[in-house]
Amino acid sequence: MAGRKRQVLAADLSQAATRFERWRKMRVRGERIPKQLWILAAKLAGRHGVSHTAGVLKLDYSAPKERLTELPPSSGAGGPPTPPPSFVELTPGPLPAPSPCEIEFSDVSGSTLRVRLPVGEHPDLVSLVRCFRECR
């Protein structure tokens, strides 16, 4: 097509295209594409996109897309996502040294409440904010 730039193929796509062409030249008419080539096509589709891979390998767009969902999760890029772990333990890092704290509340009217707390003080912030909003 006129106006299209030629793209340099990734090495893995180029090698796969060569393997597909070699298989096409040696196959018996009506023979199905071997499972190993489908797995390769599905992995490449996960890495380079279904449309691009199908075009380079001269396959129907829907074929690599369907095969992509069939890959086991351990097969690398392009397989279905693995489920998140059911439990993750987070270990806390070292706590910083206690220091004084300053909290500032403001509202849309421009009113501001600033509270300076010494080390170790833990006021009821919900009540403090409620009072700030209602007591003006």
pLDDT at 132: 81
Higher per-residue confidence, 132 vs 4: 132
Q: Of 40, 59, 75, which marks where a domain is finished?
A: 75
Same domain, 63 and 116: no
Q: Is 30 exposed, middle or buried (0-12, 13-18, 19+ CB in 10 A)?
A: exposed
pLDDT at 64: 60
User: Domain range for residue 32?
Assistant: 11-75
Higher per-residue confidence, 82 vs 50: 50
- Average pLDDT of the chain? 77
Q: Is the pLDDT of residue 5 over 60?
A: no
For the chain, percent of residues with pLDDT exceeding 90: 4
Residue 27 identity (one-letter amino acid):
R
Please enumerate in sequence order all residues whose Cβ is within 8 A of that of 50, keeping only pairs 6 or more positions apart, or say none. Answer: 61, 64, 65, 68
> What is the arithmetic mean of pLDDT over 126-130?
83
The token pair that represents 49 in the structure block: 């996109």
Q: Is residue 64 part of a domain?
A: yes
Same domain, 19 and 55: yes
Tokens 């806390």 correspond to 92
How many other CB atoms sit within 10 Å of the CB of residue 38? Answer: 18
